[in-house]
Chain A
Amino acid sequence: MSKYMTFPEVAFKDRDLLIAALEEIGCSYIRQGTGLEMGRYYSEQLEQKVAIVVPRGAIGNNYGDIGFELTESGEYRPVMDDLDRSRALNGRFIPKLRAAYNERVIAKVAARLRGTTQRAVEGGVVKIKVRF
């Protein structure tokens, strides 16, 4: 059954880094604001108001939009249709977004520390060393 679900275990703190990470993994026409309504394409999809919207169909999310709600603690949590969970980016939407976001966090930390970075990929693990 199609319905919008929130992922409480996944949170992103920095809006700019989140937008950049979404763009990197292929999301386009991203809308930003407050109280943006997610599209209701099926009767089971209840009203959802969010701060960021990735439109339906952008990355294989054929059942609905992907949204990010801003919590009271200032974090952005993803909201997406239950059926898109296994379809958006072939079910890899959340892991890919987290990895892209985390790489941006590292770049920002390195810049603030005026450090240098060294990146390597070994067996499915990205290793980044920041020296400062």
Chain B
Amino acid sequence: MPEIDFTIDEQTGEMEMKVEGVQGPQCADVAKLVTELLGAPEIEEKTEEFYTRPHVKPQVQNKRKA
């Protein structure tokens, strides 16, 4: 199950987030949602999952003759 881990340092109020279980560019979509509310991050590191291409099964359509 995809998840986002947020940590907030109570001393400074600064926040870090890590997106897990989301492969490929969809991970960037989640990050975009957060940056809409927070602004651009000071530091951004892409995890291995970002570079993993999501496995999509090709859809096969059965054509039937009437």
Asked if chains A and B come from one complex, the reply is yes
Q: Is the CB of A127 within 8 A of B11?
A: no
Q: Is the CB of B4 within 8 A of A130?
A: yes
Distance in Å: Cβ of A40 to nearest Cβ of chain B? 29
Contact of A102 among B3, B4, B11, B15 (CB under 8 A): B15
Given the interface pairs A13-B36, A109-B33, the reply to whether A124 lies near B7 with Cβ below 8 Å is no
In the complex, whether B48 has a CB less than 8 A from a CB of chain A is no
Instruction: Encode A65-83 as 1/0 by CB contact (under 8 A) with B.
Output: 0000000000100000000
Given the interface pairs A106-B6, A127-B5, A130-B6, the reply to whether A99 lies near B33 with Cβ below 8 Å is no
Contact of A95 among B6, B7, B10 (CB under 8 A): B10
Which residues, 63 to 122 on A, are CB-close (under 8 Å) to B?
Answer: 75, 94-99, 101-103, 105-106, 108-109, 112-113, 115, 121
Bound form: Cα–Cα A102–B13 in Å: 8
Given the interface pairs A95-B10, A98-B13, the reply to whether A13 lies near B37 with Cβ below 8 Å is yes
Chain A residues, Cβ within 8 Å of B38:
13, 102, 105
Given the interface pairs A13-B38, A109-B33, the reply to whether A131 lies near B9 with Cβ below 8 Å is no
In the complex, whether B28 has a CB less than 8 A from a CB of chain A is no
Chain B residues, Cβ within 8 Å of A11:
39
In the complex, whether B2 has a CB less than 8 A from a CB of chain A is yes
In the complex, whether B62 has a CB less than 8 A from a CB of chain A is no
Q: Is the CB of B33 within 8 A of A112?
A: yes
Residues on B facing A (Cβ under 8 Å): 1-15, 30, 33-34, 36-39
Additional pairs, 16, CB under 8 Å, beyond known A94-B13, A98-B13, A99-B10: A11-B39, A13-B39, A17-B37, A97-B13, A98-B15, A99-B8, A102-B13, A105-B34, A109-B33, A115-B3, A125-B9, A126-B7, A126-B8, A129-B5, A130-B6, A131-B2
